[in-house]
Amino acid sequence: MLDILVARLNNKFEKEFSYLKTYEISYFANSSVCNITFLYPQGIATIKPEQKQKITQFLIEDLKLNAAINVKFKKSYVDKNLVSKCFLEILKKYFSSLASLTSQEEIDIEIQNKIKNDDNNQCYQLLYVSVKTHISDKFLKNLNQDEIKLKLKNIIEKKFCAEFEFFFEKGKDLDEKKIEIQQKNELIKKLSDVKVTPRYEVFETVKVFGQQIEPFPEFMENIKENKLSVILAGNIENINKKSYKRTKNGEEVEKFYYSLFLKESGSVKKINCIYFCPKSNISKMDKLKEGDSILIVANIKKQNNYITAYIKSLSWCEIPKKIEIQNVPREEPTKFSTVFPERIFNPTQKNLFDIKEAYSENIKTNKFVVFDVETTGLDSENCELIEIGAVKVENGIFTEKFQTLIKPKNRISEFITEINGITNEMTENSPPAEEVIKDFYVFCKGAVLAGYNVGFDMKFIEKTANKVGLKFENDVQDVMLLAQQNIHIKNYKLKSVVKSLGISLIDAHRAYNDAFATAEVLLKLSRIN
């Protein structure tokens, strides 16, 4: 998306700046300054002052930003150490399993210079970089090389003025046991991140249906409340196959579900489990028998002090005779690591507390985080977050902004893209939900959470937080209820409410825009006349 700037620049000046590459765009709200940084090849001595002026003036006229534009130019130095370091960082971020098989010594880098003339007959070096990686033959056979090479090329060419080509070749066999231990330790660290969840390890897992399950179940004695996507292991007792009738397209259809008890090894604890079985999995479930050791992912539901686990995924496994807790103490997150909030500065924004009793006690005594989410669908059990947007409100003033796209594990459908405009390409380089939710947790510390029809949004927040051992214990307020109590209109969709209150909502169904409008509704309806 950033290269659109260069394309428009060259369209205006007939490819005079064809060697440039957009490197970074940053906006500072408190000073209303937009910094735009371009890369240029190391073969060009410098960007001339008159060229800088020409580019700056064009951007001012073309972008029409309500901010000062500061244009910078950065020379793209390409050497083997820089490329190697960048290459390993990309592997670690996007291909962690491949990164564990690769070391600096196993990377060969060749850089070739080619002289090229731009349309003004200015000569510069065009660099071609070949990155050759040696990995074990066993892993090389299972590597989706085309997909990885394309991803690497798209990312690294944004960081250098050079063309890259990647090769994977057979290298020495690696110590698989050492790699396995390293990956296991990283997995334990990830599962126990943020809050301590006592777990133990099972072995020899074989997937029956559903997702591949991480082999670190929780202890049943700690399962006491509703909880999503819990990993449990044990032996099957009293398994039964039952049927029920369901009407579909006017006809009665016979459906099946399985009930069983899962008994924890070496303990008297057991949990009742239910699996509503699709036709495709009946033959798999029929193979299960009394005493089998299984590993499951299930949603826990507590009703009348009775716990039921509704199975989503299941694997066979081997449970050790002696169970040891894999426990890595971790504290709750206290600082941002992936998504960093932005201060909101607006000199025209008045603190309405200058007028005594301008707002209700609710607003005066609480700090609010008004938020909205965009998702891949309506079902929180099976759909994912793809965007969080939030605004912090303190003393009637908008003080901070939290906004990020999120990369889902599954592709975004065309139907969802039509609703909110978020595409798979837009989220490709975004952080995963498990990382974003930690930063959102820090952002919301000590605040009341508010949203429009907020119950929907909270289901996705709580499900994601649960995966990393977090629990949002904030008070929650629904702005839609506030609207229903204070204004009388035909329907209470957010668009209708903001229109009735004279509030602007641009680009609805994008998380931050909806959150900002909801915050304005909250303040307007909380004002004491």
Q: pLDDT, tens digit, for every residue of 137-151?
A: 767 777 778 888 888
Cα-based distances in Å from 130 to 87, 108, 435: 12, 8, 33
The pTM of this model reads: 0.43
First to last CA, the chain: 47
Per-residue model confidence as pLDDT tens digits over 470-508: 889 898 999 998 898 888 888 888 989 999 888 877 767
**% of the chain residues with pLDDT over 90:** 30
What was the pLDDT predicted at 520?
Answer: 92
- Which of these ranges, 21-25, 106-110, 230-234, 285-289, has the smallest mean pLDDT? 21-25
Best mean pLDDT range from 36-45, 193-202, 386-395: 386-395
* Mean pLDDT rounded to a whole number for the chain: 83
The hierarchical CATH code for the domain 80-174 is 3.30.300
Band (pLDDT 50/70/90 cuts) for residue 469 is confident
Measured in degrees and rounded to the nearest 5, phi and psi for residue 129 equal: -115, 125
CATH of 198-318, one of 3.20.20.140, 2.40.50.140, 3.40.50.300, 2.60.120.330: 2.40.50.140
The residue annotated as part of the active site, out of 294, 509, 523, 526, is: 509
What was the pLDDT predicted at 1?
Answer: 38
Per-residue model confidence as pLDDT tens digits over 279-294: 999 999 999 999 999 9
- On the question of pLDDT at 527 being above 70, the answer is yes
Between CA 212 and CA 205 the distance in angstroms is 9
Report the candidate in 267, 247, 266 with the shortest Cα–Cα distance to residue 255: 247
* Rg of the chain on CA atoms, in Å: 28
Please list the residue range(s) of the chain that carry CATH number 3.30.300.20: 4-75
Report the candidate in 525, 528, 529 with the shortest Cα–Cα distance to residue 486: 525
Please list the residue range(s) of the chain that carry CATH number 2.40.50.140: 198-318
- On the question of pLDDT at 83 being above 80, the answer is yes
CATH superfamily of 4-75: K homology (KH) domain (3.30.300.20)
Between CA 21 and CA 357 the distance in angstroms is 54
What was the pLDDT predicted at 187?
Answer: 52
Please list the residue range(s) of the chain that carry CATH number 3.30.420.10: 342-526
**Sheet strand arrangement including 33-41:** 21-28, 33-41, 68-76
> Within 10 Å of residue 7's Cβ, how many Cβ atoms?
11
- On the question of pLDDT at 379 being above 60, the answer is yes
CATH of 342-526, one of 3.30.420.10, 3.40.190.10, 3.30.9.10, 3.90.580.10: 3.30.420.10
What was the pLDDT predicted at 181?
Answer: 62
- On the question of pLDDT at 179 being above 70, the answer is no
Between CA 44 and CA 173 the distance in angstroms is 43
- Which of these ranges, 15-19, 36-40, 156-160, 193-197, has the smallest mean pLDDT? 193-197
| 134 in active site | no
Are 19 and 41 in contact by the 8 Å Cβ rule? The answer is yes
Q: Which helix (H) or strand (E) holds 40?
A: strand 33-41
Q: Which helix (H) or strand (E) holds 198?
A: none
Measured in degrees and rounded to the nearest 5, phi and psi for residue 214 equal: -65, 135
Band (pLDDT 50/70/90 cuts) for residue 260 is very high
Best mean pLDDT range from 20-24, 281-285, 376-380, 394-398: 281-285
Between CA 41 and CA 47 the distance in angstroms is 10
Higher pLDDT, 395 or 391: 391
Report the candidate in 494, 512, 508, 506 with the shortest Cα–Cα distance to residue 405: 512
